Chain A
Amino acid sequence: MSKQVVIIGAGPAGLTGAYELNKLGLRSTVLEADDVVGGISRTVNYRGYRFDIGGHRFFSKVPLINELWREILGEDFLDRPRMSRIFYNGKFFDYPLKAANALKNLGPIESMLVGLSYARAKVFPSRDEENFEQWVSNRFGHRLYSIFFKTYTEKVWGIPCTEISADWAAQRIKNLSLTEAVRNALFGSGKSRDGQVITTLIDSFHYPRFGPGQMWERCEKLVNESGNQCVRGVQADRIRHRNGRVEYVVGRSTNGEQIEFAGDHFISSMPIRELIHAFDPPPPDEVLRAADGLRYRDYLTVVLIVNREQMFPDNWIYIHSPEVMMGRIQNYKSWSPDMVPDPRKSSLGLEYFLWDKDDQWTWSDDRLIELGIQECERIKIIGRSEVEDGTVVRMRKAYPIYDQHYQENLAVVRRWLDTIVNIQCVGRNGQHRYNNQDHSMLTAVFAARNIVGERHDVWSVNVEKEYHEEAKVATPAAGERLVPARIIRPEPAAPVPSPDELIEAAFARLDPIALGTAVGTLTGLGLFMATAILLLQHGPRVGENLSLLSHYLLGYKASSWSGAFIGLVEAGIGGFILGYVIAWLHNIGLGRYVSMIRRRAVREEEKEILEKV
């Protein structure tokens, strides 16, 4: 009998899990607490105006995920230009920051102050780099930090930058792979590990014609059509386990009815904190406490329908102005023109990052819409009279929080979960990891494949760069629909060296001892043979010229056999030193070159730090 799999959550992770399982020939049931699918990547439809929770770019370095997206959505998967700027002091600044544009917008005096503060940071950097403020100020100067980093970061995380650890910022940059940087420097940044062309974060991204929800509704449809089941409106309430195995999940429907879902394997994309609390019997207190220590940042969007054909060309703008609470404005028409039903209108999503305990969280929709309009007026983005309508969407647990204790807490939780053999945690909140859709999906693909006997570490995704490589699997051509087909493994390819193999060879070190030995042997033997030939010829003034080498080789004479042996030894030693030094210089040169590439890549990454906030 075929294995039955129960999946909790119909967000990108849960649905991808079901889709992949179906390909592997396994049946699954997906339980979704909400009455829509897509989770945080859903699209809300308000009177024909569509909008996301934030804006969801479809961008992945994992070829498998790109293929999956195309396979699911086919032609409705658009390639969209990306533009996003920073709004500060009534002006739009290019993002990533460009010197000329920033200077122009800041004006000569402020630019000079920024320059001085940058110079100061370079000459007298803050010795302690304990918090985010110090970390950014040391790199960009304190003045630039206060304009472009402080307000936005504090809006998103609700904590003063002086209380955010510097490690957190460094972590975002540190993940950078040096091999990848070298690959980009040599082969261009548009190539992924397998040589596939990938678009850079800067220029463009993919987006479904009707928003990300379209992807997940389509995926749900394919899952259902192939004989699996995605049940909306059923919340996994209890997870019954015995002898280290989950036996069934107790779901509660919207009308309060309790239903049991038995299975051989379970995949959970529900927040890991809630998952732990759902276990019956409950885990030890220590595990419950650790789970309670995992925190989330909540998020709210005020959507305004504006009676204007074009707002601005940006997909979104970062609002750095400290006088307003909103952190970003999404311009959904720029994401896809089909997000707006009437081409004469636009819709804006004002993003507020909150805790669900904040006052504003409980404000009425009308009050929040009023707040949005007032803030837009204050920064002169739109006028009140232009706003035709509005709505509010609240999303709890939008961001898993990486605080000082989350790693320890997660470790405790994971250790206990390891004792339950047939449940795997996937996705963003499912793993309490800052995963994007692609990472979330990949964890689910791995989980599905583990069920058929493959061995993948679902927790390695978005941690190690290597997961890109693992995920390289050829799949049917784009547009092919969901059929219970096995994964097609690539034919053993002709031995064309991959970029990585080329890099490995090109950056191979010379062995100084080996080169020293080779050059030393040749010079020593060479001089010995030359001397010997002259001696054997017995001519007059034998080796007169060669003997001049005695200026450098102590005791060398071209007129005697003892001289020949002295030449052998001394020229051998000299040659060894020469070879050794050549190899050493070669290696140092290569190392310097690699360091230079790393520094350049780090600088590029640092320019995009806002995106990583």
Chain B
Amino acid sequence: MTSRTDPLYEVSHAVARMKAGVLAIIFAVICGGGLFLATVWLLIKGGPRVGEHLNLLSHFFIGYSVSWGGSVVGLFWGALAGAVIGWTLGLIYNSVAGLRTR
């Protein structure tokens, strides 16, 4: 996409590599923290049929529910899923980028 006349080429010829470990941590924090906060927010708000839709995540995350205990379980599962996504993203990106610049 970037042509060799692109000013970016004058400054850097490098193709970025991702640090899979760092991506795993970032995604873990975002997903785990996100699910935790989303659950807690619904609990604080209260009301009828609290977290009806978010509860559906229990199909994938064993032990998860929209409850105080479930928020901690969600934190764990969210972080785990995020870490796997981040790490896999980095791994696939680096492998493909590596193949293409070889």
In the complex, identify which listed stretch (A214-222, A254-262, A499-507) lies at the interface while the others stay far away. A499-507
Inter-chain contacts of A7 with B (CB < 8 A): none
Which of B11, B59, B93 contacts A537 (CB under 8 A)?
B59
Interface contact B96-A522, CB-CB below 8 Å: no
| Per-residue interface assignment for chain B, residues 60 to 102, with 1 indicating a CB less than 8 Å from any chain A CB and 0 otherwise | 1000000000000000000000000100111011111100110
B1 at interface by CB-CB < 8 Å: yes
Which of B11, B89, B100 contacts A507 (CB under 8 A)?
B11
A239 at interface by CB-CB < 8 Å: no
Inter-chain contacts of A515 with B (CB < 8 A): 93
A509 to B60, CA, bound (A): 36
Most buried by B among A182, A507, A522, A533: A507
Interface contact B96-A511, CB-CB below 8 Å: yes
A609 at interface by CB-CB < 8 Å: no
A2 at interface by CB-CB < 8 Å: no
| B-contacting residues, A286-318, CB 8 Å | none
Interface contact A518-B89, CB-CB below 8 Å: yes
A530 at interface by CB-CB < 8 Å: yes
Which of B12, B16, B95 contacts A503 (CB under 8 A)?
B12
Least CB distance from B31 to A in Å reads 12
A595 at interface by CB-CB < 8 Å: yes
A594 to B6, CA, bound (A): 10
A510-B16, A533-B59, A591-B2 known; A182 and B93 CB under 8 Å? no
| Per-residue interface assignment for chain A, residues 570 to 602, with 1 indicating a CB less than 8 Å from any chain B CB and 0 otherwise | 000000000000011001001100110010000
Interface contact B13-A522, CB-CB below 8 Å: no
A508 at interface by CB-CB < 8 Å: yes
* Interface SS majority for chain A: helix
Which of A504, A513, A537, A595 contacts B96 (CB under 8 A)?
A513
Interface contact B2-A509, CB-CB below 8 Å: yes
Interface contact A517-B8, CB-CB below 8 Å: no
Q: For chain B, give the interface size range.
A: 20 to 34
A427 at interface by CB-CB < 8 Å: no
A18 at interface by CB-CB < 8 Å: no
Interface contact B88-A591, CB-CB below 8 Å: no
Interface contact B15-A587, CB-CB below 8 Å: no
| A-contacting residues, B5-61, CB 8 Å | 6-8, 10-17, 53, 56, 59-60
Which of A504, A512, A517, A519 contacts B14 (CB under 8 A)?
A504
| B-contacting residues, A481-523, CB 8 Å | 503-515, 517-519, 521-522
A36 at interface by CB-CB < 8 Å: no
Which of A511, A518, A545, A594 contacts B15 (CB under 8 A)?
A511
A537 to B2, CA, bound (A): 47
Least CB distance from B26 to A in Å reads 15
Closest residue on chain A to residue B101 by CB atoms? A511
Inter-chain contacts of A376 with B (CB < 8 A): none
Least CB distance from A255 to B in Å reads 58
Inter-chain contacts of B11 with A (CB < 8 A): 178-179, 182, 503-504, 507, 594
Closest residue on chain B to residue A587 by CB atoms? B2
A393 at interface by CB-CB < 8 Å: no
Interface contact B15-A178, CB-CB below 8 Å: no
Inter-chain contacts of A539 with B (CB < 8 A): 59
| Per-residue interface assignment for chain A, residues 41 to 75, with 1 indicating a CB less than 8 Å from any chain B CB and 0 otherwise | 00000000000000000000000000000000000
Closest residue on chain B to residue A523 by CB atoms? B85
Least CB distance from A442 to B in Å reads 24
A507-B11, A511-B16, A595-B7 known; A522 and B89 CB under 8 Å? yes
Inter-chain contacts of B97 with A (CB < 8 A): 511, 514
Least CB distance from B52 to A in Å reads 10
A519-B89, A522-B85 known; A514 and B8 CB under 8 Å? no
Closest residue on chain B to residue A505 by CB atoms? B14
Inter-chain contacts of A514 with B (CB < 8 A): 92-97, 100
Closest residue on chain B to residue A178 by CB atoms? B10
Least CB distance from B69 to A in Å reads 22
Interface contact A517-B12, CB-CB below 8 Å: no
Least CB distance from A576 to B in Å reads 11
A517 to B96, CA, bound (A): 8
A534 at interface by CB-CB < 8 Å: yes
A590 to B92, CA, bound (A): 23
| B-contacting residues, A536-590, CB 8 Å | 537, 539, 545, 583-584, 587, 590
Interface contact B85-A509, CB-CB below 8 Å: no
Which of A506, A522, A545, A594 contacts B7 (CB under 8 A)?
A594
Interface contact B8-A587, CB-CB below 8 Å: yes
Interface contact B1-A512, CB-CB below 8 Å: yes
Interface contact B8-A518, CB-CB below 8 Å: no
A463 to B49, CA, bound (A): 74
Inter-chain contacts of A587 with B (CB < 8 A): 1-2, 8
Least CB distance from A232 to B in Å reads 47
Interface contact A518-B96, CB-CB below 8 Å: yes
Least CB distance from A518 to B in Å reads 4
Which of A179, A506, A590 contacts B10 (CB under 8 A)?
A179
Interface contact B56-A545, CB-CB below 8 Å: yes
Interface contact A518-B60, CB-CB below 8 Å: no
Closest residue on chain A to residue B95 by CB atoms? A514
A514 to B89, CA, bound (A): 10
A514 to B92, CA, bound (A): 7
Interface contact A508-B6, CB-CB below 8 Å: no
Inter-chain contacts of B14 with A (CB < 8 A): 504-505, 507-509
A515 to B101, CA, bound (A): 14
Inter-chain contacts of A510 with B (CB < 8 A): 15-16
Interface contact B1-A530, CB-CB below 8 Å: no
A178-B7, A595-B7 known; A509 and B89 CB under 8 Å? no
Inter-chain contacts of A179 with B (CB < 8 A): 10-11
A464 to B69, CA, bound (A): 66
20 A-B Cβ contacts within 8 A?
A503-B12, A505-B12, A508-B14, A508-B16, A509-B2, A509-B12, A509-B16, A511-B96, A511-B97, A514-B93, A514-B96, A514-B97, A517-B92, A517-B93, A517-B96, A519-B89, A533-B59, A587-B1, A595-B7, A598-B7
Other than A504-B12, A511-B16, A534-B59, give 6 A-B pairs with Cβ distance below 8 A.
A511-B15, A511-B97, A514-B95, A518-B89, A518-B96, A521-B88
